[in-house]
């Protein structure tokens, strides 16, 4: 007999209104066969940026010599995770994370954009400061995730937080939907697809209680 367990789905719905980074490819699903039109099956394909919805960034996203998403260590995306809320106006400081980092969580998810709407790209959003990224990396956190389209600020060109996380071997999840999930300890399951050389992959991210 299987025992039911509680899951929080922290993945935004993939549907055409979903926001993507300005200029990035929109999400589309195209139906090529339809039972309603006499076909034996429903069949569709999709077209999307690899950074659509909840996704894992590969190191090759910002470092041409680094590994693609098919080569990342999957253990980062599966296991104990702590969800915390940080109330910050613009950047998450190292100070904001001090209490939680002292307990060295294996994986750290940060809710910092409570009003996020997956259908609208935010003109500004809360992200990590480089000092916060450094503190997370130095604490040995294996994965960091947040409810923003980037761990860096929106106009960043050199992506300092992405690079700091990469140097410390900290995996990155972006665009998580954390509304309504209580802070606490969970098991995270958010495996990326095995896309050869992919600079990212959408994930179905869930938190198991």
* Residue 174 near Zn ion by CB under 5 A: yes
Taking each helix axis from N to C terminus, what angle separates 94-101 and 130-138, rounded to the nearest 10 degrees?
20
- What is the smallest separation between the CB atom of 97 and Zn ion, expressed in angstroms? 21
Choose the binding region for Zn ion from 46-54, 76-84, 115-123, 179-187 (rule: CB under 5 A).
46-54
Among the residue ranges 23-31, 52-60, 77-85, 134-142, the one whose residues contact Zn ion (CB under 5 A): 52-60
Query: DSSP assignment, residue 193?
Result: P
**SS3 of 167, please?**
helix
Q: Which stretch binds Zn ion (CB under 5 A): 45-53, 79-87, 126-134, 177-185?
A: 45-53
Closest distance to Zn ion from the beta carbon of 142 (Å):
18
Asked whether 136 and 110 are in contact (CB, 8 A), the reply is no
Cα separation, 172 vs 162, in Å, equals 8
- Binding-site size for Zn ion (CB under 5 A) equals 3
Q: How far apart are CA 144 and CA 151, in angstroms?
A: 9
Q: Does 57 bind Zn ion (CB under 5 A)?
A: yes
The one among 12, 48, 51, 176 contacting Zn ion by CB under 5 A: 51
Annotation marks residue 162 as catalytic: no
73 Cβ neighbours under 8 A, 6+ residues apart: 171
Residue numbers of the site for Zn ion (CB under 5 A)? 51, 57, 174
Catalytic residues: 61
């Amino acid at each position: 007999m299987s025992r039911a367990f509680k899951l929080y789905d922290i993945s935004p719905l993939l549907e055409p209104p979903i926001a993507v980074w300005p200029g990035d490819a929109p999400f589309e699903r195209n139906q090529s066969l339809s039972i309603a039109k006499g076909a034996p099956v429903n069949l569709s394909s999709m077209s999307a940026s690899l950074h659509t919805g909840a996704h894992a960034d590969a190191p090759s996203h910002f470092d041409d010599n680094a590994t693609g998403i098919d080569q990342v260590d999957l253990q980062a995306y599966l296991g104990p995770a702590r969800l915390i809320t940080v109330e910050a106006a613009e950047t998450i400081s190292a100070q904001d994370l001090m209490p939680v980092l002292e307990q060295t969580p294996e994986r750290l998810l940060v809710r910092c954009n409570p009003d996020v709407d997956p259908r609208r790209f935010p003109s500004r959003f809360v992200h990590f400061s480089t000092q916060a990224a450094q503190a997370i990396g130095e604490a040995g956190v294996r994965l960091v995730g947040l409810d923003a389209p980037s761990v860096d600020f929106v106009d960043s060109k050199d992506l300092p937080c992405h690079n700091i996380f990469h140097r410390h071997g900290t995996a990155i999840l972006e665009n998580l939907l954390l509304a309504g999930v209580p802070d606490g300890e969970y098991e995270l399951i958010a495996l990326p697809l095995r896309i050869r050389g992919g600079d990212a992959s959408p994930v179905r991210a869930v938190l198991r209680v």
